[in-house]
Structure 1
């Protein structure tokens, strides 16, 4: 396979497929529409995770202090009523089981990543604030990605406030965590970056990027999906080659029947897994 072959294959795929592949702290080996904006879906949760750890390191909050588990949040649209999450849009009963009780922020952040809990995400955003998430994107070197609102904030969405990412920006964020785990970096201390990577390594949704890798390959990653959108971004840690970044964002027509929006192994998952497998095969040449 050559990168031109992969591009030719993706040229036949409906919609927009963006990608970024390369080593840490090095120019990319291959990109495809890396700066195209896509609806973020749950990939924005990585920036929320980083904002939480930064706040903890600044002494603004205690990761292990239990906080109330509620389902009512301030809208990003000024003057709009508070909003709630719907349980059937979530992927984690464990957080909903704590509703009305308390849970540590560290645990909520873990559920936000490994099970992609929307309720946990909004709770964490409520404690760190959207400006702190924006600061993470800026410090990581992201050029255009925006986290403008919480999940299911429909009043904000109706007002045009949204969450977007690019493949290049997702790679920049993961690169900042990967390099920051060994040397003091832009986002947080090495200990905090290592802790965040450990959470991303524990990801339980493995239908896309991870599905294209040999069993047991370590990948610190986050996926995201809604109808018509499927993304995967990760830092792959091969045993026989240097670590590499891979971010793939796909946006298709939600009426084409291929985007189920339920996290199952649909065509978009298979496409991302195929790209991941091709990159894995070329890992020594990246």
Structure 2
């Protein structure tokens, strides 16, 4: 699919499709509605992971200290009671099987990413704190993204407290981690960033962006979806080209009929965009349609 054909297809898609694509550490080669906000779904787990590793490096917690697996969490709405999350909506039974037992934060961080465990996410967020996550977004240079509550904190959601991302902000966070693995950066030391990349590369839910790549391609990624939302955020490491960032966020009407078919279509769309970017990996500038220019990246703070 030619670049102009891809843009024409995206123009016909219902809802909002945001894209950020480009090499690490440089302005993007192609953006489309990259500053539009989307409900974060499980991509918020990227910010929780970064906050955890940063907190460990500054001595606020120990990644290998045992913590108890519980299902009661502090709501982001101050007057609300503690809340729980539901096992039936989780992708990972391994954490639930350890209720009442003790595990390490490092293990929970892995389950949060590689199996997108909601319970693990809430446990890590409870220990790290929302302020630490906000600091990580700020250090990455994010402009609009916020991780304001845990998963299934319905009292906070009803009060308007939510988790938001943009394609540009997710790219900025991934860029800070990926480039931070080779030189000191704003999030963590090279060792800490390398450890985070290893977790992201161990992802077992290889959908969306991964489905548009040749089998075996190395990528550090996290996806997320709920009804009406399908996102993918990745650093792709080709063997024959420089690593690049690709973030695709899609949002359509949450109440639209045919939810399963719509989600399958959004998943395929993300995969198709990924495949097109892969084919242009030696010249990502070719993705920009004639007569247009990619927007500059968000500045780091």
TM-score bracket relative to the smaller structure: over 0.9
C-alpha spacing 1:59/1:78, structure 2 compared with 1 (3 Å): same
Residues 175-221 of structure 1 deviation map (CA, whole Å, 9 limit, x = unaligned): 00010000000100000000000000011111210000000000100
Alignment-derived partner of residue 77 in structure 1 = 77
Alignment-derived partner of residue 270 in structure 1 = 268
Within a 5 Å distance, the mapping from 1:105-116 to structure 2 comes to 105-116=105-116
Alignment-derived partner of residue 24 in structure 2 = 24
Q: Report the Cα distance in structure 2 between the residues aligned to 1:172 and 1:97, rounded to whole angstroms.
A: 35
Q: Report the Cα distance in structure 1 between the residues aligned to 2:48 and 2:21, rounded to whole angstroms.
A: 23
The offset of 1:2, in angstroms, is 4.2
C-alpha spacing 1:258/1:28, structure 2 compared with 1 (3 Å): farther
Q: Does 1:45 align with 2:45?
A: yes
SS of 2:18's equivalent in the other structure is: strand
Contact 1:19 1:34 in 2 (8 A): yes
Please identify runs of 4+ aligned residues in structure 1 that moved more than 2 A. 1-5, 254-261
TM-score, with normalisation over the residues of structure 1? 0.97
The offset of 1:51, in angstroms, is 0.5
The offset of 1:265, in angstroms, is 7.3
Paired residue total: 284
- Structure 1 unaligned regions, length at least 5: none
CA RMSD of aligned residues (A): 1.3
Alignment-derived partner of residue 284 in structure 1 = 282
C-alpha spacing 1:127/1:59, structure 2 compared with 1 (3 Å): same
- Structure 2 unaligned regions, length at least 5: 285-301
| Higher RCO (CA < 8 A, seq sep 6+) | 2
Q: Report the Cα distance in structure 2 between the residues aligned to 1:257 and 1:231, rounded to whole angstroms.
A: 20
Alignment-derived partner of residue 33 in structure 2 = 33
